[in-house]
Structure 1
Amino acid sequence: MRRPRPDTPAPGQESVWDYPRPPRVERVTERVTITLGGEVVAETTDAVRVLETSHPPVYYLPIADFVDGALVDAPGSSFCEFKGAARYLDVHGGGAVAAGAAWNYPQPSPGYGILADKVAVYAAPMDACTVGDETVTPQPGGFYGGWVTSTVAGPFKGVPGSMGW
């Protein structure tokens, strides 16, 4: 499948088609929050985002910035050709449980060491995930964990027909 035609970014937006491959990691200056079961389970000003061609950014928050008991080991693992072996975690908050909704790289590949003590969370099973004052939209498709905000232009991998991008 050939690469899709990128959307033209509006003023203040960046195109996910300008993101690199292999991915780049960069610090985030805005406050990032995650809410589940009506409870804020994580809040930080020390997040990073991973930027990869065709994907909205994946936000990683420090494990230490999750409330006690919010992250519980879950079955399953996966492997990223860039970041290495991932483990999965259930997210608990306000009596709700989002099974396998978070992941991290305890021993990431060289160049991605900053991710070792950070966790990414799928936005869809959460009540809300925010970056600054904006509530994010989950990356389409359910497989990838990107967070779509008004600052990024697509199209985004995960939509029907995007498997070969």
Structure 2
Amino acid sequence: MLGRRMVTVRELRHDDDIDTVLTLCKDFFAEYEGHHKEFFETDNLSDADISGRFLESLESDSSATIVAFMDDTIVGYASVAVREQPRFYKIKKIGAISALMVAKEHRRKGIATRLLDETRTFFRRSGVECYTLYTATANQATIKLYERNGLTPLHNSFIGEVDV
């Protein structure tokens, strides 16, 4: 409960408002394009491309979309997936959070932390002990959020360009 408004966090269902998740996803892409032009190519991305990804997660045992509701409105989401690693890895099964977004007007209310908690519940149920997520190095507010929630930096990723 935030103030008098109830926040509920759970997996996306068929009868949920996919259009709101789609809008949040577009906001996520736009925000990350601002951090680095190479993050996403959204000029030719259709709504069907994006919503198809969320609909696929409804039918999958290895992926899910976690949604946060304030009252009856979706105000945030996290996309999660589990994959098997090759035999030579010490960690055989790993989770990944590929997106975590809270609507700007609902940030700093604990919703992202609630989403992270629910992603860990999904991973625990899936037999996953470790998970990864990525964010832009310029996204310091999000990095601090992740650190407050017990995540630690794993490695640095670099991007280079090649003349084609």
The TM-score with structure 1 as length reference comes to 0.27
| Bigger helix fraction | 2
Larger radius of gyration: 2
| Bigger RCO (CA 8 Å, 6+ sep) | 1
| Bigger strand fraction | 1
The TM-score with structure 2 as length reference comes to 0.28
